[in-house]
Structure 1
Amino acid sequence: MSSVTLLAVAFLASVSLAWALGASSTSPPLAPAVGARALSVMQAALLVGVLASTGAVLQGGSVSETVGNDLVIGASLTPLAVAVGLLTAAVFIGIGVATSYPIPAAFATTGAVIGVGLALGGDPAIETYRQLALFWVLVPPTGASIAYLTASVLRRDDVPDTVGIPVLGGLVGVVVANVTLEVLPASTGTRPTIANFVSRSLGSTPRVVGSYDLTMVATSLVCGVSVFLVLRRQTRQSVDVAVRRFLIALGGLVAFSSGGSQVGLAIGPLGVLAGQSAYLTAKSVVLVGAVGLLVGGWTGAPKIVQAVANEYSQLGTRRSIAALVPAFVITQTGILLGFPISLNNIIISSVIGSGLVVGTGGVSVRKITITAVAWLSALVGSCLIGYVGFELASTFA
């Protein structure tokens, strides 16, 4: 098989995986809003597609680098390896979409890329695996705990909505000021964030903590206070309207973040080939991932949105907000570290944690158990199939 043909197959595999991610892994963020009756399923799917593709363009770099270059030592991915690995991951995720048991894209893609990389003769990147495993293991209890505590506070009678919701929104505003946005300029060794951009524009000021100078801290606080004041005013006018708007905004932020994280899984291996081929560039690879997420969100997301919204835990608006706050923070942490992460893992853990605030009756233990088994099977199975699939494909290519 010619190199051009193999490159075309790898390209199509990347598009297929991006579609599967748009349908499955980027769709849960707005599911709590659907469960709380703040959005319809189709409205959520449309928003997921637009926001996830935007996040892919603005935040897709760090995870792409890890998936494409850091999972195996001593072997560079070939077009055939990329094709086999991405198709393997896409099949696993597609099975999740068809069965309504969301398969973590990070597990399926990481396992598949490791499998083909080992088949190429590479050595396992043990230290990377340890870091990923620790992060993945910590995500469910961390997300569930933060969601549970947040939901508990929002339900307290001595914490009125005119205070609790604005304070929570203010904290989210501070985080937004410090998320990585690759479209912004940044000096060497610093992250392109809103806070950093303002600091560069106004000139350096004395350091306050770590790499943060006085301007960056002030910018973060201004963003937080601005969101607080807006929500404070809205809650005084109508608590229900303010809560619903905040819920949709949070879901949108998580969907945006999911695009920045999940696109790396689809284009990371393809990005390796961009430096080896005149037909691909780094920008075109990112565009492939963004378009794939957009189409996947519009055409395949409704089923997963429905499943996450109604089958894991029955949530109200406040518990939905409690589920989305840790999801946003954890997703951005993964992007900052360059770790491939599972949005399904984060969202579902957070949804369960916020649901437990009213007891275990609203949580489907059977659904959770089956999902956990499916997740572990995806990680191990994709690695084995990726390895065997590449060995078989090599004999015919």
Structure 2
Amino acid sequence: MTVNFFLVVAAAFLVSWMIGANSVSTAFAPVVGTKAGGVLRGALLAGIFGLIGAVVQGGTVAGTVGSGLIEGVELSTATGSIVLLTAAALIIFGVFSHIPIPVAFTVVGGVLGTGLGLGYSLNTSNVQIIVAAWIAIPFISIFLGYVFSMILRSFLDEENSETKLGALVFVIGAFCAYTAGANLVGLAIGPLVHDIDLSLKILLLLGGAIILLGAWIGGPRIVNAVSKDYSELGARRSVCALAVATVIAQVATFMGIPVSFNEVIIASIIGSGLVVGVGGIQLKKTAKTALSWIGSFFASLGITWVASIVFL
């Protein structure tokens, strides 16, 4: 076994951990925000449901990442290690900076960067679909979050909603974490699919298990931050935010499109919070987060482009 093999496996485990800590755990932030669950318990449950989603539905996105972005080329252990190590470094930076860096942006940017650096042709149709989805998702999430919250607001006042919707917030949060695991595990194990003599299901199970540990041990910080920093959440807005995020991410998963779950759920939280006006939204932090998302994509693309020219 080569050094590149061990590097890509270690990097895949590290990215899986970060997915659990930085993305899957975000799904339970509204649950914690409505006091339907504590931070530590919410992070653990997010990881469990993320593991289930990874095993059941994770293969579609894994195929896109492993062989669907570069025309006629499957990722090798060398390119995979560069992509995943770069993504992990950027995500770790985001965790310590209290900024949720999208795993999808860093991994996809890394794959594209290595492809360009090695002179390969990109699968432009797939890339265009993914980028279009990334651009559209915040607007769709904000709009649907606002509409759903307005509809629910007309049927339930805030006092009644806290008792009637508490259980529903928890159930939708669980499905949201499941969907996050289903979409995001492919970003970590996609580069391994064509280089390791293990079945896809085994790889998904291993990736999902590391996601669980990442969410349980590393997720409480992000859960606490997202539940407070972007919008003041009540039960009504939490139900709407989680429902919107789950629907959008499920559609993307079926289509094999890797999406930023942080982007989806934070945008839906913002949209649901707009029913009480912009005063409940942390606009400065939201703008900073959006810029960090864009920057992370281009940083990953640039770093891997240079690294592939120098080392491969």
TM over 0.5: yes
In structure 2, the residue matched to 1:254 is 176
In structure 1, the residue matched to 2:56 is 58
Query: What is the 5 A alignment of 1:168-207?
Result: none
Structure 1: distance between partners of 2:156 and 2:22: 36
In structure 1, the residue matched to 2:19 is 21
Q: Is the 8 A contact 1:75 1:121 kept in 2?
A: no
Is 2:276 the partner of 1:354? no
Structure 2: distance between partners of 1:392 and 1:109: 19
In structure 2, the residue matched to 1:69 is 67
Across the aligned residues of Structure 1 and Structure 2, the Cα RMSD in angstroms comes to 1.4
Is 2:239 the partner of 1:324? no
In structure 2, the residue matched to 1:265 is 187
Letter paired with 1:29: A
Structure 1 stretches of 4+ with a deviation exceeding 6 A read: none
Structure 2: distance between partners of 1:4 and 1:104: 30
In structure 1, the residue matched to 2:311 is 393
Q: How many residues align?
A: 310
Structure 2: distance between partners of 1:284 and 1:36: 36
SS of corresponding position for 2:262: helix
In structure 1, the residue matched to 2:210 is 292
Structure 1 counterpart of 2:93, from 86, 89, 95: 95
Cα distance change on mapping 1:74 and 1:122 into 2, 3 Å: farther
Q: How high is the TM-score relative to the length of structure 1? A: 0.76
1:147-171 per-residue CA deviation (whole Å, 9 max, x = no partner) reads 1111111212xx257xxxxxxxxxx
In structure 2, the residue matched to 1:40 is 38
Letter paired with 2:170: I
* Larger CA Rg, structure 1 vs 2: 1
Structure 1: distance between partners of 2:239 and 2:162: 13
Query: What is the 5 A alignment of 1:330-349?
Result: 330-349=248-267
Q: Is the 8 A contact 2:55 2:201 kept in 1?
A: no
Q: How high is the TM-score relative to the length of structure 2? A: 0.96
Cα distance change on mapping 1:361 and 1:390 into 2, 3 Å: same
Q: Among the aligned pairs, what percent are the same residue? A: 37
Structure 2: distance between partners of 1:121 and 1:139: 31
Structure 1: distance between partners of 2:254 and 2:213: 26
In structure 1, the residue matched to 2:147 is 149
Q: Is the 8 A contact 1:33 1:251 kept in 2?
A: yes
**1:248, distance to aligned residue in structure 2 (A):** 0.5
Structure 2: distance between partners of 1:347 and 1:87: 25
Q: Is the 8 A contact 2:16 2:185 kept in 1?
A: yes
Q: Is the 8 A contact 1:151 1:319 kept in 2?
A: yes
1:25-80 per-residue CA deviation (whole Å, 9 max, x = no partner) reads 11111101111111111111010111101110001011011111111114332111
My pick for the range that moved more, 346-355 or 128-137, is: 128-137
Letter paired with 1:57: V
Cα distance change on mapping 1:360 and 1:5 into 2, 3 Å: same
**1:240, distance to aligned residue in structure 2 (A):** 4.1
Which 5+ residue runs of structure 2 have no aligned equivalent?
Answer: none
Cα distance change on mapping 1:272 and 1:366 into 2, 3 Å: same
Which 5+ residue runs of structure 1 have no aligned equivalent?
Answer: 162-237
SS of corresponding position for 1:123: coil
Structure 2: distance between partners of 1:74 and 1:337: 20
1:80-102 per-residue CA deviation (whole Å, 9 max, x = no partner) reads 11111011111111111111110
Q: Is the 8 A contact 1:102 1:304 kept in 2?
A: yes
